[in-house]
Chains A and B, each alone.
Chain A
Amino acid sequence: MRRVVITGQGTINALGKDVKSTLGAMSNGACGIDTLEFANVDRLNVSIGGQIKDYRAEDHFSRQEIGLYDPFTQFALIAAKEAIAQSGLEFPEELATHTGVILGTAGGGLTTQDENYRSVYEDGKNRVHPFVVPRLMNNAAASHISMIYGLNGPSFTVASACASSNHAMGQAYHMIRSGMSEVMITGGSESMLCFGGIKAWEGLRVMSKDGCRPFCATRNGMVQGEGAAVFVFEDYEHAKARGADILAELIGFAMTSDASDIVMPSQKGAASAIRRALRDANVSPEDVGYINAHGTATAANDRTECAAIREALGAAADTVMVSSTKAMHGHLIGGTGGVELLATIAAVKDGMIAPTINHSIADPECNLDVVPNTARQQKINVAITNAFAFGGLNAVLALRKV
């Protein structure tokens, strides 16, 4: 099997409009969650989120492009541009044939659906814009990246709710590892911060109205975010031969399914995903220095995830650093694993351990080192990043310092 490395990363999210500003915000423990601004927000009970403020599509795209790109596609394109530029890759025909795009998203072009349902149902219009379908389809972002960079390899979109990005990046990893592809553009994108997107989540009664406080005894629910993070995954020999800067090496990936409940998480399913990822990476629990947790700040997830980490790591759980960066950028649903991989890369590459902010009172049911409130500088070699989706779909990636 081939070795797989990461040679580019890009993002736009509530913490920053590129990787540098996002990692700077994470190391400062900044919070990107604020009052939401969009149509009909006054009719919502939940009015906070990790929204990208001062975002203007016109700063990035032409009028024709904006007509075709839902915000989830715009975010993915902005992140992909940064990642591919950093990688230094160009895609002549031979490489383009062996390069594809696999992205995760849960809602796809939800804002486009929201606006057009409002137009036909509420405003009574009988005609919609001709590009509604190509804007809203879940594969739009992956397809536009493939078109802009002329990538002819395998491209598609993965939808597994909150694990979409991790499942997508796992597929990309496997394709290079097996020799099917040389390079893959991968990550995730989400733009669910619109009236319909939040209203639907409100119904489930798991959202916090006042803040995201993972692992804290005062936590009372999740807070949504938006944005994208996209990476360049590359065959190690290919990257080495061209003298690329390597950010980190992917060393393992595992997926499991709880097969139990459509919303409640399972300790057994999560623990099994973590354990199998470590086995796939051929590392022992003591080797793991940092875990970027799923950490949604719901009562159920955080309690279950901490128990799963204990079950999978045993005594090593006493010393491993575990943080949920969702307290800073919000839960990007299908895009969240992407933004969280940025924090995981920073941990192995620079020893920057992003904190779990908003932590005031320890919860005995979350008795791990959750890196409360302040980032740490600590050299580590191996880190994992967890994603556990509604529907019981778990996906865990393992990285190593290069």
Chain B
Amino acid sequence: MSVEDKIIAIVAEQAFLEPSDVSPSSTLEELGVDSMALVECIFSIEEEFDIQVPFNANDPKASSFDISSIKSIVTAVEDLIAAQKA
């Protein structure tokens, strides 16, 4: 599975959707991912890829980890894998 497929699977599970209902352009808001589900997504991403994601629930937009869409999350995770596994 690609990074994108894995992230779609993680978000779909939290949103109670099928992976086929989630596309790279989907936003978390559209998918109905609330703040608690988002924290669980971040946890699952860290576990899946064995990385540390900079994320503070007090201000999700402040972090360099861009959660504006599935695509942006995939890019951010790929960058973190490259940086932290280097």
Contact = CB atoms under 8 A, between A and B. Distances in A.
Contact of B58 (A45, A221, A263, A264): A221
Given A203-B43, A205-B42, A220 B59 contact: yes
A89 interface: no
B35 A206 contact: no
Contacts of B39: 203-205
Interface of A: 45, 203-206, 208, 219-221, 263-264, 298-300
B66 to A, nearest CB: 16
B59 A299 contact: yes
A71 B36 CA distance: 32
B55 interface: yes
A6 to B, nearest CB: 35
Majority SS at the chain A contact face? loop
B56 A264 contact: no
Majority SS at the chain B contact face? loop
> Closest 4 CB pairs between A and B?
A205-B57, A299-B58, A221-B58, A220-B58
A208 B58 CA distance: 9
Contacts of B42: 205
B62 interface: yes
B36 A221 contact: no
A205 B55 contact: yes
Most buried by A among B42, B43, B58, B62: B58
Contacts of B55: 205
A206 B58 contact: yes
Interface string B25-57: 000000000011001001100000000100111
Contacts of B35: 264
A299 B58 CA distance: 5
B53 to A, nearest CB: 9
